[in-house]
């Protein structure tokens, strides 16, 4: 049974930092990529960052240079370190495991506000 369990999120002031974590289990996680998406109410879910099985990261233009994705294949976890947060980063963030039909985490609210 595949499980994708997120932790982290919360309220942070503009310019601050926050880290999201995601634990994935139920298959050979180290052989597959992992991703983070975010969704603002009323908008489509947006790909924020992804990381290949070998650890090569990729980022959307909106977060390039501010966010960092990393994985730990010994623990089957993926993390999203978010720095220099802006109000427009406010969204619900989802971890996504593209295995078979794909599996989503439960989502975590990130609010950037003073």
Distance in angstroms (rounded) separating the CA atoms of residues 87 and 98: 29
Distance in angstroms (rounded) separating the CA atoms of residues 108 and 10: 8
- pLDDT for 85 equals 98
- pLDDT for 65 equals 97
Contacts of 11 (CB under 8 A, 6+ apart): 111, 112, 113
Mean pLDDT, the chain, integer:
96
Distance in angstroms (rounded) separating the CA atoms of residues 73 and 53: 9
- pLDDT for 41 equals 85
- Percent residues over pLDDT 70 in the chain: 100
- List pLDDT tens digits, range 24-68: 999 999 999 999 999 998 999 999 999 999 999 999 999 999 999
């Amino acid at each position: 049974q595949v499980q994708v369990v997120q932790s982290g999120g919360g309220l942070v002031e503009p310019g601050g930092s926050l880290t999201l974590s995601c634990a994935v289990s139920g298959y050979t996680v180290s052989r597959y990529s992992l991703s983070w998406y975010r969704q603002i109410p009323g908008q489509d879910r947006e790909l924020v960052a992804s990381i290949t099985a070998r650890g090569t990261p990729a980022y959307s233009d909106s977060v390039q240079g501010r966010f960092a994705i990393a994985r730990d294949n010994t623990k089957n976890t993926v993390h999203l370190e978010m720095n220099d947060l802006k109000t427009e980063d406010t969204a619900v963030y989802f971890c996504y495991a593209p295995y078979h039909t794909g599996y989503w985490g439960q989502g975590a609210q990130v609010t950037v506000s003073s």
